[in-house]
C-alpha cells in the first residue's frame, strides 16, 4: 500500500515514475490485513507496562500477542526503546504526532478510491469492537470520550440488545456490549484495493516493473537499481519495502531501529445460514472477524518473532477456537494460513522523508499496524516534501534522523 501510494502521488504530480515490485502490487503485507481504514486509531499500539498484562502475556499462550524467544532476543534493543516510548509521558507526546496522520486517512484514501473507480470495494459503516465484560466496555467508553473530544472521532455505545439487533448471529449472552466506531471504512478485498491503485497509476502513465531488486547503488547523477539483471536509473528513489526496508537501508550504511510483528489470517464459511454484517473485533481476546469477498477472514493479533522464522500457526488455531464460540464459523477455505509481517519502529511512528546523508533517497516505511490506513497520506506528504513544498503536517516527527 505505502509504495503504491507514493508512486501514485508522484505520478499525479507529473514525475516520470517506475514502480518496482517483485510480486503483483498488494500481495505482500497489505494483502493480509483486517481491511480497515482506521480513522479512529489515533493512539498507536503501546508496549504493555502494567504488571498484570505482562504476567498474562509471559506464559505465551494468549491470542492477542505471542512471542518467539529468538525474535525477542534479536530485537532486544528496539523493543527496549519501544517499552521506554510507551511510558505515559513519552506516549502523550507521540499521540498527537501519530494522530496528525491518522485523521487525514479517509480524505486521502477517498481521493484515490474515486480516481481508481474502486468504490465497490468500500463499506462506510464502521466496525464493532465487542466486549465480554462490563468493566472492559466501560474502559473503552472512557477512552472513546477522550479521543472524540481531542480528535473528532465518532462512535456509538451498544448494549446487549442493540448489539444483538446489529449482529443477531453473534454468541448469545456472552457479550456485555460493543463500541461501534462509525467513521472507519472497511475493504472487502484489501489486496484488490492496492491493485486498483496500482492499475490507476499505470493508466496515468506510470511504469510497473515486476522483478527482484538485487542492488541499489549511488551514481554520478542519482541512483541505479538492478532488477533481475536490468539497470534502472533515476535521480531519486523512494524506499518503501515494508519489513524489508531497514535491511536494505543498512546496505547504504544507514541503520534505523526496526522490528516486526507478524500476523496470520484464514478465511472461513459460515454454518446454519449465519451472517456477519460488520467487521467484529473481539477486543478482550485479540482477533478480528471480517466478512470479505473470499469468506469470513479471521486475523490474529501480533507475534513478536524474526521475520524469517517459520510460521507458528498455534496463535491462529487458538484464535479460531475462540472465534467459533463467538460466531458459527464453517470450514477453512484456504489451503494454508497466510502470514505477513508489520514493520514497526520503537516510537510507533513511521519513517517518512529523506535518508540522512544519502541525497536523492527517500524513505516511507515503519507504519506498524497502520500501513494500509496510512499509505495515501504518506504518499501525499512525501510528494510535497520531494517537490520542496510546505507540507500539511510538520514532518520532523517522522524523519529518520530522529533516531
The CATH code of the domain that includes 224 is 3.50.50.60
Average pLDDT over residues 129-134: 96
pLDDT at 334: 97
Cell digits of residue 169: 448471529
DSSP annotation of 133 reads S
- Rounded CA-CA distance 316/330 in Å is 15
Residue 203 has pLDDT above 90, yes or no: yes
Residue 312 inside a domain? The answer is no
- Rounded CA-CA distance 255/82 in Å is 17
Q: Are 39 and 106 in contact (CB under 8 A)?
A: yes
Residue 73 inside a domain? The answer is no
Tell me what the pLDDT averaged over the chain comes to.
96
Residue 293 inside a domain? The answer is no
Numbers of helices and strands, H then E, in the chain: 12, 22
Q: Are 371 and 29 in contact (CB under 8 A)?
A: yes
Q: How many domains does the chain have?
A: 1
Residue 345: count of CB within 10 angstroms of its CB: 26
- Of the listed ranges 110-124, 164-178, 283-297, 322-336, the least confidently predicted one is 164-178
Residue 181 inside a domain? The answer is no
- Rounded CA-CA distance 84/100 in Å is 22
Rounded (10°) CA dihedral 40, 41, 43, 48: 130
Residue 110 inside a domain? The answer is yes
Which tens digits make up the pLDDT trace of 70-81? Answer: 989 999 999 999
Q: Residue 108 is part of which domain span? A: 1-46+86-121+188-258+347-403
Residue 279 inside a domain? The answer is no
Q: Is 182 helix (H, G, I), strand (E, B) or coil?
A: coil
- Rounded CA-CA distance 35/103 in Å is 17
Q: Are 163 and 178 in contact (CB under 8 A)?
A: yes
**How wide is the angle at C-alpha 373 spanned by C-alphas 369 and 379, nearest 5°?**
115
Residue 360 inside a domain? The answer is yes
Distance of CA 217 to the CA centre of its chain: 29
Q: Are 261 and 344 in contact (CB under 8 A)?
A: yes
- Rounded CA-CA distance 366/257 in Å is 10
pTM: predicted TM-score of the whole model, two decimal places:
0.97
| Total residue length of the chain | 403
Average pLDDT over residues 357-363: 97
- Sequence-ordered list of residues with C-beta below 8 angstroms from that of 45, at least 6 positions apart, any chain: 302, 348, 368, 369
Which tens digits make up the pLDDT trace of 89-99? Answer: 999 999 999 99
Q: Are 180 and 156 in contact (CB under 8 A)?
A: yes
Residue 65 inside a domain? The answer is no
- Rounded CA-CA distance 106/129 in Å is 20
Residue 300 has pLDDT above 90, yes or no: yes
Distance of CA 166 to the CA centre of its chain: 27
Residue 172 has pLDDT above 90, yes or no: no
Amino acid at each position: 500500500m505505502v509504495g503504491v501510494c507514493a508512486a501514485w502521488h508522484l505520478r499525479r504530480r507529473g514525475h516520470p515514475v517506475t514502480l518496482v515490485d517483485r510480486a503483483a502490487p498488494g500481495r505482500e503485507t497489505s494483502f493480509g490485513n483486517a481491511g480497515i481504514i482506521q480513522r479512529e486509531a489515533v493512539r498507536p499500539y503501546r508496549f504493555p507496562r502494567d504488571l498484570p498484562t505482562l504476567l498474562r502475556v509471559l506464559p505465551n499462550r494468549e491470542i492477542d500477542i505471542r512471542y518467539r524467544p529468538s525474535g525477542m532476543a534479536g530485537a532486544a534493543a528496539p523493543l527496549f526503546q519501544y517499552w521506554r516510548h510507551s511510558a505515559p509521558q513519552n506516549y502523550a507526546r507521540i499521540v498527537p504526532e501519530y494522530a496528525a496522520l491518522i485523521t487525514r486517512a479517509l480524505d486521502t484514501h477517498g481521493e484515490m478510491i474515486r480516481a481508481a473507480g474502486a468504490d465497490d470495494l468500500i463499506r462506510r459503516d464502521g466496525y464493532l469492537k465487542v466486549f465480554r465484560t462490563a468493566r472492559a466496555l466501560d474502559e473503552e467508553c472512557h477512552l472513546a470520550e477522550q479521543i472524540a473530544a481531542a480528535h473528532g472521532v465518532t462512535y456509538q455505545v451498544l448494549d446487549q440488545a442493540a448489539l444483538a439487533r446489529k449482529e443477531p448471529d453473534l454468541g448469545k449472552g456472552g457479550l456485555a456490549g460493543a463500541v461501534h466506531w462509525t467513521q472507519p471504512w472497511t475493504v472487502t478485498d484489501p489486496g484488490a484495493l492496492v491493485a486498483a491503485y496500482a492499475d490507476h497509476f499505470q493508466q496515468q502513465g506510470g511504469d510497473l516493473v515486476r522483478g527482484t531488486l538485487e542492488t541499489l547503488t549511488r551514481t554520478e547523477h542519482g541512483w541505479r537499481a538492478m532488477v533481475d539483471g536490468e539497470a534502472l536509473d533515476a535521480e531519486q528513489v523512494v524506499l518503501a519495502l515494508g519489513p524489508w526496508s531497514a535491511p536494505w537501508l543498512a546496505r547504504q550504511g544507514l541503520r534505523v531501529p526496526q522490528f516486526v510483528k507478524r500476523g496470520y489470517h484464514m478465511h472461513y464459511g459460515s454454518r446454519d445460514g449465519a451472517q456477519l454484517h460488520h467487521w467484529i473485533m473481539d477486543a478482550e481476546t485479540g482477533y478480528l472477524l471480517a466478512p470479505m469477498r473470499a469468506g469470513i477472514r479471521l486475523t490474529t493479533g501480533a507475534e513478536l518473532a524474526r521475520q524469517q522464522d517459520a510460521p507458528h500457526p498455534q496463535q491462529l488455531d487458538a484464535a479460531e477456537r475462540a472465534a467459533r464460540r463467538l460466531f458459527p464459523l464453517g470450514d477453512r477455505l484456504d489451503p494454508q494460513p497466510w502470514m505477513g509481517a508489520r514493520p514497526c519502529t520503537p516510537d510507533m511512528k513511521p519513517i517518512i522523508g529523506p535518508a540522512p546523508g544519502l541525497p536523492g533517497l527517500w524513505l516511507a516505511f515503519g507504519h506498524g499496524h497502520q500501513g494500509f490506513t496510512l499509505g495515501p497520506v504518506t504518499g501525499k506528504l512525501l510528494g510535497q516534501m520531494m517537490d520542496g513544498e510546505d507540507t500539511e503536517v510538520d514532518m520532523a516527527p517522522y524523519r529518520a534522523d530522529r533516531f
